[in-house]
Chains A and B, each alone.
Chain A
Amino acid sequence: MSKKRFIRLFAVLLALSLFAAACGGSDDGDTTSPKDVPAGEIPVGGTLRIAGASDVDFMDPASMYYTLSWTLARGVFRTLVTYPAVADFEEQNVLVPDLATDVGTPNEDSSEWTFTLKDGIKFGPALGNEAVPGVTGEPITSADIKYALERVFIPSVGGGYPFYYDIMEGTDAFVAGDADEITGIETPDDKTIIFHLTEPAGDWPFRMAMPASAPVPADYAAGFDAEKDSDYDSHVVASGPYYVAEWAPEEQITLERNEEWDPDTDDVREAYVDVVDWKLGFDNDVGVQKVQGGDYEIGLDVSPQGPALEQTLADPELSKRLINEPSLCTRYVFLNTTVEPFDSLEVRQAVNWAIDRANLKTLQGGPITGDIASSIIPPGMGGYLSTDEYNPFGTDGMAGDLDKAKELMAAGGYPDGYDGELLFVGASDPPHDKYAESVRADLEALGFSNLNVKTPAFPNQYTQFYGIPDKNVAIGTSAGWCKDYNDAFTFLDPLFSGDNILESGNQNYAEIDDPAVNEAIATATKTPFGDERVAAWEEANRLATESGAWVPWTWDNETIIYSENLVNPIYNTFFSHIDWVVAGVTTAE
């Protein structure tokens, strides 16, 4: 998932964090002790105050794609199935029913999925506490789910990730305008919905847990969607325990209780707090101070960095209220397999041996930023292989092995290195400039003597280089990928499948089209979820890693701070944040 990246206007603003940290030393002593909360008892009521930097990308569930938007969606929109609110990562990946009565029933080859809706589920108010006649208080039906998925393909809506849904039968005809509906979504009655897919998808329920599949009242939303540019974004109808009471873009989001939500129909969300008061626009360092000082309960998109992080870690009180967990993102250096000499497997593997991953990790900020990666799939996701059990290019301290790399260069037919010109694209924003420098040094040591190094500003390396195969970028050093949902399909299919090399907006930057890898991905995709599927992804992970097309070097962590007023903060990997629908505040009256 693309996290909002701040292209900071002024480099000086980065420097100010140094000052802030230097001046923030005397915070101890004036901390008030939290109210005593008996174990297992979470206060009900009160206001959850969130300090944020940037706004949601969209409020419309079809389009929202930032992690922070999905964090909001957790309490506003319900989906057929969802992730349980538990602390254990493995248990988090076991989907539970939400609007549906079960997690879906597949046919034999997982190409047809049937869900049944619960009784008592109703739509709440629209944004701004508008009670919509014929919608608010009315039951959610299968037609509302169907319309939600159809509108992902309506141009005026602009779905955030339609490719996860285009395997529904009849999608092509709908997109082309030849059909008024997607015929692959069958709704025999108000409670039943059957998906007919053109290919098997064992992970279909995961796709039914993303916000785009949340119910949208068809008659109401269709009016907005018929415009040139849908304005449903400003009129979203709630299905979860909260509705959006106020949304002032870049300023403020307020959530209040949706009285139509029946807790008996929801086994996941406890919805302890009455109101969510999410203030946007904070400077990162100021936001951190506000949360650590107890003025806000959660920092969303603001977190201590650099010296401020060190200071937080060193403080016995503050460090207790810091979450540092895998964000299910991998950063990597890619080698374009269509550019000589990276068309050679040995050369790619040689580069994998040569890169000093430990140095890159140091440049990124050390172990707190996440573990050094030894393969592609990050921890927390099925198919992950721990460094202990699998480390094909492992060396002592992961600093690389130049001798082994040179042997492989020779085996690949380049004993003296390579002096042809190669386009090498990094990024200029610190520390990306240093990543590029580090990788360049490693490659030059390996004998690549003619690197054409470019370091454009974020995110131009993606939009103007990596994403355009015509550019023939040979080496990219500032690439990263985060999961959409906790199945390795969201990693390996867009990034390693030969079918996904696109003319523009390409994400298979290495342009790898390896029959064995393609086959392994196809096999895993078809496998129903469970241990067998995990094993299939492990195999695909091995093949993709050993193809050498990537040099994965870190599995990133997400750093989150919360205040002493927050009770029961659980980290959820789906939206990489605190699962606030089961948290309470001690400030509750």
Chain B
Amino acid sequence: MLQYVIRRLLWSFVMVMLVVMVVFLIFFVLPGGTGRKEDGRASPVAVMMAGRNPRPELVKNIEERLGLDRPVYVQFGRYVWNALHGDLGYSYQSQIDVREAVFHRLPATASLAFGASIVWLLIGIPIGIISALKRRSLLDRGSMLFALIGVSMPTFWLGLIAIFYFDSNLNVYSVGDYASITDNPAQWFATMWLPWLVLAVTFAAFYTRMVRGNMLEVQSEDYIRTARAKGLKERSVIRHILRSALTPVVTMYGLDLGILLGGAIITERIFNIPGIGLLAVDAISSSDLPIILGTTLFAAMFVILANLIVDVVYASLDPRVRYS
């Protein structure tokens, strides 16, 4: 087991390096990358930073200061080396420490991700279970309709509608007043409940469908039929079904949470929650490579870590899975 975890961690490191390398390539090498520097020409990022009608010396100076005049592999190597020492550099735009910026934004994103995930589990799993048990009932049809609508509604649309009704019309919510949970828990909750609901709807719909589908599949398996045939109490049968049907939910939950921790860009933008997603969007609009790299790095790490945790937890949930 330990050996497995170590091996996975090593692979994770390789994965993260690959992700960072791809971002570097997009930025520096691909046509259209703002960092792409052609021979004998100034780096476009440096020109952008130098302002209007820049003196050539100034552009050169910026290039040197940021190391943009070095070959890409040198810049990459230097970035990795510094990153390994916990230094993710400074924002081109605002000069803030990237690591600090990400850590500063993490609570907001984590609040959103964990809160929403609890909401969608609370909605998705029970509805999925009931739906599967009362198959073809009105309740089942109703829940599947909800799932269809939920899956089809894009977050950005639903978010705006929600703001329109709850903020502009009913005045029970106010966009943009985010406070951290440690500063003002009441206000934190007051600004988070609506984004949780909005973000959770889509996921809840997915989970409902998945739980229902798994339940139906497991119900038709031999061992369940056997259990029923030998007269096991229905409660116990359901417990057996749930055990099998819910393990895939763990996988999905882990991955979804990992992805959301990397920033729920659209929800954060619409509800003006200062999270990692918003940080990344703003950085992309100003070609702020250190921030883009920092947020990507964290997002990748969350996904990989979530994956690892899911796989490890899986072993204890499903006795058929063993790692060596």
Q: Chain A residues in contact with chain B, CB under 8 A?
A: 2, 4-10, 12-13, 16, 19-20, 23-24, 26-27, 30, 51, 54-55, 57, 63, 65, 155, 158-163, 166, 175, 228-229, 231, 233-234, 248-251, 279, 281-283, 285-286, 289-290, 293, 295, 456-457, 459-460, 463-464, 467-468, 470, 484, 494, 500, 502-505, 507
Q: In the complex, what's the smallest C-beta–C-beta distance from B142 to chain A, in angstroms?
A: 25
* Complex contact A494–B53 (CB within 8 A): yes
A162 to B59, CA, bound (A): 12
User: Which residues of chain B are near A468, meaning CB under 8 Å?
Assistant: 41
A340 to B210, CA, bound (A): 64
Partner of A9, one of B42, B61, B169, B284: B284
Partner of B65, one of A16, A30, A229, A233: A229
User: Which residues of chain B are near A6, meaning CB under 8 Å?
Assistant: 285
Interface centre among A5, A65, A468 (most CB of B within 10 A): A468
Interface centre among B52, B96, B279 (most CB of A within 10 A): B52
Q: In the complex, what's the smallest C-beta–C-beta distance from A292 to chain B, in angstroms?
A: 8
11 other contacts beyond A65-B52, A231-B95, A281-B274, with CB at 8 A cut-off? A7-B284, A9-B265, A24-B168, A30-B169, A158-B58, A282-B272, A286-B175, A290-B176, A460-B32, A484-B52, A494-B52
Is the CB of B157 closer than 8 A to any CB of chain A? yes
What 0/1 readout, one digit per residue, does chain B (268-304) give for beta carbons within 8 Å of chain A? 0111101000110110110000000000000000000
From known contacts A155-B58, A161-B52, A250-B279, infer whether A281 and B47 are also in contact, taking CB-CB under 8 Å.
no
A279 to B53, CA, bound (A): 32
User: Which residues of chain A are near B25, meaning CB under 8 Å?
Assistant: none
User: Which residues of chain A are near B71, meaning CB under 8 Å?
Assistant: none
* Complex contact B48–A463 (CB within 8 A): yes
Is the CB of B147 closer than 8 A to any CB of chain A? no
* Complex contact A505–B53 (CB within 8 A): yes
* Complex contact A505–B163 (CB within 8 A): no
* Complex contact B49–A158 (CB within 8 A): yes
User: Which residues of chain A are near B265, meaning CB under 8 Å?
Assistant: 9
* Complex contact A162–B58 (CB within 8 A): yes
What 0/1 readout, one digit per residue, does chain B (77-112) give for beta carbons within 8 Å of chain A? 000000000000010011110000100000000000
* Complex contact B272–A283 (CB within 8 A): yes
The residue of chain A having its C-beta at the shortest distance from the C-beta of B273 within the complex is A281
A289 to B54, CA, bound (A): 39
A228 to B65, CA, bound (A): 8
User: Which residues of chain A are near B137, meaning CB under 8 Å?
Assistant: none
Q: In the complex, what's the smallest C-beta–C-beta distance from B45 to chain A, in angstroms?
A: 8
12 cross-chain CB contacts under 8 A: A4-B285, A9-B284, A16-B156, A20-B164, A160-B51, A162-B54, A467-B47, A484-B52, A504-B41, A504-B42, A504-B47, A504-B56
Q: What is the interface of chain B mostly: helix, strand, loop, or mixed?
A: helix
From known contacts A23-B161, A155-B58, A464-B32, infer whether A281 and B272 are also in contact, taking CB-CB under 8 Å.
yes
User: Which residues of chain A are near B157, meaning CB under 8 Å?
Assistant: 16, 19
User: Which residues of chain B are near A248, meaning CB under 8 Å?
Assistant: 274
Q: In the complex, what's the smallest C-beta–C-beta distance from A120 to chain B, in angstroms?
A: 34
A587 to B261, CA, bound (A): 39
Partner of B160, one of A19, A65, A249: A19
* Complex contact B161–A155 (CB within 8 A): no
User: Which residues of chain A are near B163, meaning CB under 8 Å?
Assistant: 286, 289
Is the CB of B202 closer than 8 A to any CB of chain A? no
Is the CB of B135 closer than 8 A to any CB of chain A? no
Residues of B in contact with A, size category: 35 or more
Is the CB of B214 closer than 8 A to any CB of chain A? no
A416 to B227, CA, bound (A): 88
Is the CB of B57 closer than 8 A to any CB of chain A? yes
From known contacts A9-B281, A231-B95, A464-B44, infer whether A175 and B57 are also in contact, taking CB-CB under 8 Å.
yes
User: Which residues of chain B are near A470, meaning CB under 8 Å?
Assistant: 41
* Complex contact A281–B95 (CB within 8 A): no
Q: In the complex, what's the smallest C-beta–C-beta distance from B140 to chain A, in angstroms?
A: 31
Q: In the complex, what's the smallest C-beta–C-beta distance from A511 to chain B, in angstroms?
A: 15
Q: In the complex, what's the smallest C-beta–C-beta distance from A286 to chain B, in angstroms?
A: 6
Is the CB of B72 closer than 8 A to any CB of chain A? no
User: Which residues of chain A are near B51, meaning CB under 8 Å?
Assistant: 63, 65, 158-162
* Complex contact B160–A16 (CB within 8 A): yes
A309 to B281, CA, bound (A): 25
User: Which residues of chain A are near B58, meaning CB under 8 Å?
Assistant: 155, 158, 162
Q: In the complex, what's the smallest C-beta–C-beta distance from A61 to chain B, in angstroms?
A: 14
User: Which residues of chain A are near B184, meaning CB under 8 Å?
Assistant: none
User: Which residues of chain B are near A456, meaning CB under 8 Å?
Assistant: 32
Q: In the complex, what's the smallest C-beta–C-beta distance from B178 to chain A, in angstroms?
A: 8
* Complex contact B53–A163 (CB within 8 A): yes
Is the CB of B226 closer than 8 A to any CB of chain A? no
What 0/1 readout, one digit per residue, does chain B (200-228) give for beta carbons within 8 Å of chain A? 00000000000000000000000000000
User: Which residues of chain A are near B167, meaning CB under 8 Å?
Assistant: 289-290, 293
Partner of A502, one of B32, B56, B62, B101: B56
A500 to B53, CA, bound (A): 8
Q: In the complex, what's the smallest C-beta–C-beta distance from A249 to chain B, in angstroms?
A: 5
The residue of chain B having its C-beta at the shortest distance from the C-beta of A10 within the complex is B266
Interface centre among B47, B65, B176 (most CB of A within 10 A): B176
* Complex contact A27–B59 (CB within 8 A): no
User: Which residues of chain A are near B94, meaning CB under 8 Å?
Assistant: 55, 233, 249
A484 to B51, CA, bound (A): 12
Is the CB of B154 closer than 8 A to any CB of chain A? yes
Shortest beta-carbon contacts, A-B, top 3? A504-B42, A463-B44, A505-B47
Q: In the complex, what's the smallest C-beta–C-beta distance from B183 to chain A, in angstroms?
A: 12
